[in-house]
Chain A
Amino acid sequence: MSGSNSRDSNAGAVVTLDHACIAQKMNRPSKINLENEVELRSLLTRHKISEEEFRTILSITKDPPTLAELGVFSAMWSEHCSYKSSRYHLKRFPTKGERVVVGPGENAGVVRLHGKLCLAFKMESHNHPSYIEPYQGAATGVGGILRDVFCMGARPIANLNCLRFGGRKHPRTRYLVPRIVKGIGDYGNCVGIPTVGGSVAYDDSYNGNCLVNAMTVGLIYDDKIFKGFASGVGNLVVYVGSATGRDGIHGATMASDSFATQTVKQETTVQVGDPFAEKLLLEATLEVLEKNLVVGIQDMGAAGLTSSSFEMAGRAGNGVYIDLDRIPVRAANMNAYEILLSESQERMLMVIEPSRWQDLSSVLQKWQLAHAVVGVVTDNGRMQISHKNYLEIDLPVAPLTDEAPVYQRPMADRKRNDEESSELKILEDRLKSDASFAIDTFLKALNDTGSKEIIYSQYDRHIGARSVLGPEHGGAAVMWLRDDAAKDLPFLGAVMTAGCNERRVKNNPLVGSAEAVLKCARQIWAAGGQPLAITDCLNFGSPEIPDVMREFSDSVDGITIACRELDVPVVSGNVSLYNSTGSVSIHPTPMIGMVGRMNDVRLATPAVCNEDQNLNLYVLSAEQDDLSWAASLCAKVHNIAPDLGMINDINWSQEILLSECLNSLRQSGLLVAVREVGDGGLGVTGVKMLASLMLEKVSIDFDVKDASELLGEGEPRYLIQLTNDGQELAHKIAGEHKLVLRMIAKVKPGDNRIFKTCLGEIDLDRINEALVTSQPIGG
């Protein structure tokens, strides 16, 4: 850590409008040479600027731009910063609602929980850096999303993450998993934020492009929300945090690139994280905001100083002058281009009234953070940046922010799946007729979606002393808030979960994406919460491929439908495109993060059974038989493509009915455990619910009529454990909701240790092996 030096608190450190005026008269560095066409084309290719975009740039700059200006355009107009291919579609999301306090467009979304107490949350991708350098890539992904949340004034209370790796046996998977898990753990553990949930899956579609999506949830008061506004002409622009180095230069542009098969050359663009610096920045930022010392604040994330300064100026409709000679740097002879586009971590940009400088400086000194006044807010709507007596950047702000290009990319027609797939029919017939094949499929399915303990045991899940339910139980996480602003609700909780079933999205982007939102809601209902709002992280292939754009557009529509049906607006989010290697795109993966509230966390219901109560499992469902094998886990373990056949449509009123029934059961004190039936149907879900018993002296009777009933998917159902004497009343409540409650599994003590179904008996040891001991490396 470079401590604050004497210059920081020196009155001469202040930048005034006079400085800005002097800079305006400085010489300009040499401009890009338009005559040499070969060189120009190579320059544009390296900056991922199309010829059409370059023509627009020329119309904005009049003269040819400087190299640093070209770098700024490249970063600001990258997919990562500008959302140029997605913005047209994202407009369709429902983003308003009476509980929404801050919607999309800010550092994080904010939704009201109770009184002035709100939750700030967002999910963001760090896929490309994590694939190149998994440890640092994943760690800085966690760091970035934490800063997005705490720079608004929220204290982070929970982290979640959604990971997608290539096939389990793929060599890159074995390399990535332990490093990414360690990166996430080391960073979150050190900053002291519990990692409480998320999802992990392995699928060949991610062989060349893993997904690392990190989400943070924080607590914030509605009267203490800070935003990224560079308001007030004459106010100071202050740089806070780690010094700027050459790491991560042009990360934003890289994140908008698809991988060529060679990754070696990209290694210099990955950022390096320092969680200790983050912890100091977190405490210092919250102290500074609590004392109301800043006008505006923003994390220097993707595209570093460039995006934070442009975006803050853009939101306020002002200009900004920055003197790069004042930026704390940690490498010698950095040029303007490098300082502007560095993605060094753990940095913040603050805008303050000049009179606050001394107070601000003393807080930052206490936390040993480097800080310096680096610029001033101006009234000319331009970004003017000087370095070593040259005016390196002189650009209007708006064309790089609000008026950045928006593309309506061509979309392919919607693909129509064949209703019947011969491969799925063969699978179904064989599962029904060949018991040993069915048992083998069952074990493979258990293995595919088995225990994640080897992963989450590396994450501190209890720090903060709020975790009522965490990843051990496999459902939504429940955090006990105990906040002064909710004294009337001493057991108020926040419920949160994140995930997406990419195979179902691949099968039908519209229904599958709606289902991703619904699945989060089911988990929150099951735990005992009421869904409030979502964030999303839309991971797709190249937007230049019309089929991918169709998937993207349908996915946005699917999420929109679900949000309207469930009354949960989208309050923040992120888009990650170009997730492809060569011509192979990942499965479309619109990861959804949902938060909810719970008035009394003492009623939180886990998704695993309690051994102190009757160990019988009941299935709660509507009276119907509508199972399907399309995009199912069984199809996956037999390598059947997820886009064969058709997944079921969603019956929204039935979903609501089921959630209401769960609530009645809970209010009547009958629920011990509830799990939403997901991948691998009743069999796989049931085993996960009873996982703690697999080493014990028990036998499990599973009452299903055939393999379809054991493993089929696609119908909304919940598995339930009831209190010892709750059966009768539970049946009555289910009947009142016109739902069916049926006992499906009985656990009996006994030495034979078997799982018994109509297909035959399976040793519990074999089940435990599939579920736990044969899980791939996590550390």
Chain B
Amino acid sequence: MNKRISPVGTPRIGVMQFPGSNCDADCVDALSRHFKIEVEVVWHQTAELPSLDAVIIPGGFSFGDYLRSGALAAHSPIMNDVKRFAERGGAVLGICNGFQILVETGLLPGVLLKNNSRTFICKKTALINHNKKILKMPIAHGEGRYWIDEEGLLRLEGDGLVAFRYSDDYGATGHAQNPNGSVANIAGVFSQNKKVLGLMPHPERATDKIMGGSDDGLVVLEEFIRRI
């Protein structure tokens, strides 16, 4: 398999593992099959991150989603160091439950609420990213309705921090394309310095065309690695 080579040599990426994380192995698998990088799984009780170039917080149901999705993981020992890592300008990617955790820690603005259907939704979605590129990736979540107050939304839009919006195959972002009721069809957002990215769709599940017809997840992962 042809591995994509990152311009910065061989970065080391840490995949955080909480009790209840369940997309950690998929992230490790996708990264190590498609990119020339080193991947390390970091257990949540580790007080300090090992020497890393980037951090991925994978999807799942950390701590069983007790209390609120992501709320307990946000207070795990490792998250203190992830916060420091992000504050130093480190690249952090939160996928699905990882996005929820990043929102709970305050590294990203807004909140993620229960889908407006009140049900878990698993489906393939099309997204338009901040570069106006259409990407196809599946979603699978019960609490993925992004919400932020009007002021916050204006700031996100103004600073170009909306990373992904649910769209149709041609980039239209209407009500019909919104699977969960997210404000402004938002599926993912950046932090102010664009180093922290959170998104509900799963790029690690869209890395090979034979699984679901799309390998657009590689675009997201590659861009993340380049941002290191």
Query: A residues near B, CB below 8 A?
Result: 182, 185-186, 189-192, 274-277, 279-280, 366-368, 456-468, 480, 482, 601-602, 604, 779
Contacts and interface: CB of A to CB of B under 8 A. Distances in A.
B64 interface: yes
Contacts of B20: 190, 276, 279-280
A464 B66 CA distance: 23
Given A276-B64, A457-B123, A462-B140, A192 B22 contact: yes
Contacts of B140: 189, 460-463
Given A275-B61, A276-B20, A458 B122 contact: yes
A363 to B, nearest CB: 13
Contacts of B211: 462, 465-468, 480
Contacts of B118: 779
B121 A279 contact: no
Given A192-B22, A458-B120, A465-B205, 18 more contacts: A182-B120, A189-B61, A190-B20, A190-B22, A190-B64, A279-B22, A280-B19, A367-B19, A456-B122, A457-B121, A458-B122, A459-B122, A462-B202, A462-B212, A463-B22, A465-B204, A468-B210, A779-B119
Contacts of B85: none
Contacts of B112: none
Contacts of A601: 210
B66 A460 contact: no
A779 B202 CA distance: 23
8 contacts: A182-B120, A189-B61, A189-B122, A190-B65, A458-B120, A461-B122, A462-B212, A779-B118
Contacts of B23: 192, 463
B30 interface: yes
Contacts of A280: 19-20
Interface in B114-136: 117-123
A190 B142 CA distance: 11
A185 B118 CA distance: 13
Contacts of A461: 122, 140
A359 to B, nearest CB: 18
A544 B24 CA distance: 51
B138 interface: yes
A368 B202 contact: no
The 7 closest A-B CB pairs, nearest first, are: A276-B64, A192-B22, A779-B119, A460-B140, A190-B61, A465-B26, A462-B205
A123 B138 CA distance: 28
Contacts of B121: 457-458
Nearest to B204: A465
Contacts of A460: 120, 122, 140
A466 B25 CA distance: 12
Interface string B198-217: 00001011011011100000
A276 B212 CA distance: 28
Contact of B117 (A277, A464, A779): A779
A23 B172 CA distance: 74
B223 interface: no
Interface string B129-162: 0000000001010100000000000000000000
Nearest to A493: B210
Contacts of A482: 29
Contacts of B63: 276
A476 B138 CA distance: 20
A605 B63 CA distance: 39
A182 B205 contact: no
B120 A189 contact: yes
Interface string B177-212: 000000000000000000000000010110110111
Contact of B29 (A191, A457, A465, A779): A465
A601 B66 CA distance: 38
B60 interface: yes
Contacts of B66: 276
Q: How large is the interface on B (under 10, 10 to 19, 20 to 34, 35 or more residues)?
A: 20 to 34
Nearest to B63: A276
Given A457-B121, A458-B119, A602 B210 contact: yes
A52 B158 CA distance: 82
B26 A463 contact: yes
Contact of A275 (B29, B64, B212): B64
Nearest to B29: A465
A389 to B, nearest CB: 38
Interface string B45-81: 0000000000000011101111000000000000000
A456 B140 CA distance: 12
A456 B121 CA distance: 9
B201 to A, nearest CB: 11
Nearest to A459: B122
Contact of A191 (B19, B22, B30, B212): B22
A279 B26 CA distance: 16
Nearest to A460: B140
A459 B123 CA distance: 9
Given A190-B61, A460-B140, A368 B19 contact: yes
A275 B211 CA distance: 26
B178 to A, nearest CB: 15
A764 to B, nearest CB: 19
Interface in B75-121: 117-121
Contacts of B210: 468, 480, 601-602, 604
Contacts of B207: 465
Nearest to B60: A192
A465 B30 contact: yes
Contacts of B212: 462, 467
A601 B60 CA distance: 27
A368 B25 CA distance: 20
A189 B60 CA distance: 8
Contacts of A186: 120, 142
B61 A463 contact: no
A601 B140 CA distance: 24
A457 B179 CA distance: 11
Contacts of B60: 192
Given A460-B140, A779-B119, A279 B19 contact: yes
A182 to B, nearest CB: 7
Contact of A185 (B25, B120, B205): B120
A461 B30 CA distance: 17
Contacts of B25: 464
Contacts of B65: 190, 276
Given A480-B211, A602-B210, A279 B122 contact: no
Nearest to A195: B122
A182 B61 contact: no
Contacts of B30: 465
A601 B210 CA distance: 8
Contacts of A366: 43
B139 to A, nearest CB: 9
A275 B26 CA distance: 19
B32 to A, nearest CB: 11
A464 B64 CA distance: 18
A468 B140 CA distance: 17
Nearest to A189: B120
A458 B207 CA distance: 23
Contacts of A185: 119-120
Given A185-B120, A189-B140, A457-B122, A464 B26 contact: yes
B63 to A, nearest CB: 7
Contacts of B123: 457
A523 B175 CA distance: 37
Contacts of B205: 462-463, 465
A182 B119 contact: yes
A210 B19 CA distance: 34
